[in-house]
Amino acid sequence: MSLVRNIFCSSLGKKYIMALTGLALLGFAGGHLVGNLQVFAHPDKINGYAHFLQGLGPMLWVVRLSLLAIVSLHLWAAIQLTLENRAARPQKYDVDHTIQASAASRYMIGSGLVIATFLVYHILHFTVGAVSADTFKTGATIGEYTMAHDFHLFGLTIVGAGAPVHDVHTMMVLGFQKAPVAIFYMIAVSLLSFHLWHGFESAFQSLGLRTSRWGCFLHAVTRLFVVAYLLGSLAIPGSILAGVVKVGGCCPTTAAAASCCPASK
């Protein structure tokens, strides 16, 4: 217990918590993006992938609750460290010494809170289905889609052709066809990329893993990852909003979706 108390009560322990939870969230963000980029492929891809995740049952909720705990710990540690820094320096310097700090590092708390707000909205919109009043919500109310081909994952057939699955592809397209939703999403992922620009390297430094020998390499990898993440994340709502990605790569079976499918008209 004393070890746990020391971790949660000391500044160094809080830095470790923030670094480790940040890296875990970074891995999730990258995996989440790879999954969502399947919206550019045949609807079988993302619908089969979503069906696989939904088939995890209770395990999926274990993952969701774990992510919620990680996000909460990350925010808690960040806020605690910020308050401690302010308490240690109650008066501002006569001269502003933040000129050498990056903009990302100075606004980590602000961007992090906006990102947390976006995550809540994103879950309510696409996971719970509590935001939109449209026909295509998530869960039991989402439209049904019939798989045209087998869906394979790691060489294994996960969903067979002809199987009815939730039409996640149509749900995403209809969701991002709304300009306010798409724009809010693009602003949020831009802030997240801004957050990662500083946080990725800081996590390694907090853990004592950033050395002068490979610091330049880590810096380059960070920039490459953040730019790739930003472009990939912006491409999804941007392409849907521009009409590049549409409903009906393979027409859904519901009448509401069929009305949006050019091939069904």
Which class for 9: exposed (0-12), middle (13-18), buried (19 or more C-beta within 10 A)? Answer: exposed
Query: Torsions phi, psi of 72, nearest 5?
Result: -65, -45
pLDDT digits (tens, 9 = 90+) for 203-228: 888 888 777 778 788 888 889 999 99
Q: Output the CA–CA distances (angstroms, integers) from residue 205 to 55, 100, 170, 200, 262, in the order listed.
A: 39, 17, 42, 9, 52
Can you read off the two tokens belonging to residue 189? 């992922």
Torsion of CA 212, 219, 80, 29, to 10 degrees: -140
Max CA pair span of the chain: 70
Residue 108: band (very low, low, confident or very high) from pLDDT cuts 50, 70, 90? low
Q: Kindly state the average pLDDT of the residues 134-145.
A: 53
Contacts of 102 (CB under 8 A, 6+ apart): 197, 198
Domain harbouring 234, CATH code: 1.20.1300
Given a contact cutoff of 8 angstroms between Cβ atoms, the answer to whether 248 and 264 are in contact is yes
Residue 256: band (very low, low, confident or very high) from pLDDT cuts 50, 70, 90? very low
pLDDT digits (tens, 9 = 90+) for 4-18: 777 777 888 888 898
Classify residue 95: in a domain, yes or no: no
Classify residue 2: in a domain, yes or no: no
Residue 46: band (very low, low, confident or very high) from pLDDT cuts 50, 70, 90? very high
Can you give the pLDDT at residue 202? Answer: 83
Range of the domain at 185: 18-86+103-256
Q: Which amino acid is at 100?
A: Q
User: The whole model's pTM is what?
Assistant: 0.75
Lowest mean pLDDT among 41-45, 102-106, 109-113, 195-199: 102-106
pLDDT digits (tens, 9 = 90+) for 224-249: 999 999 999 999 999 999 989 988 65
Can you give the pLDDT at residue 12? Answer: 85
What's the structural domain count of the chain?
A: 1
Residue 139: band (very low, low, confident or very high) from pLDDT cuts 50, 70, 90? very low
Can you give the pLDDT at residue 253? Answer: 43
Classify residue 73: in a domain, yes or no: yes
Percent of the chain with pLDDT over 90: 15
Classify residue 12: in a domain, yes or no: no
Can you give the pLDDT at residue 68? Answer: 85
The Cα–Cα gap between 224 and 244 comes to 26
> 159 pairs with which residues across the strands?
151
Classify residue 8: in a domain, yes or no: no
Q: Output the CA–CA distances (angstroms, integers) from residue 65 to 71, 73, 112, 248, in the order listed.
A: 10, 12, 19, 33
Classify residue 93: in a domain, yes or no: no
Classify residue 262: in a domain, yes or no: no
pLDDT digits (tens, 9 = 90+) for 63-96: 888 888 888 898 888 888 878 877 776 555 444 4
Residue 103: band (very low, low, confident or very high) from pLDDT cuts 50, 70, 90? very low
Classify residue 3: in a domain, yes or no: no
For residues 85 and 189, which has the higher predicted lDDT (pLDDT)? 189
Can you give the pLDDT at residue 142? Answer: 59
For residues 118 and 187, which has the higher predicted lDDT (pLDDT)? 187
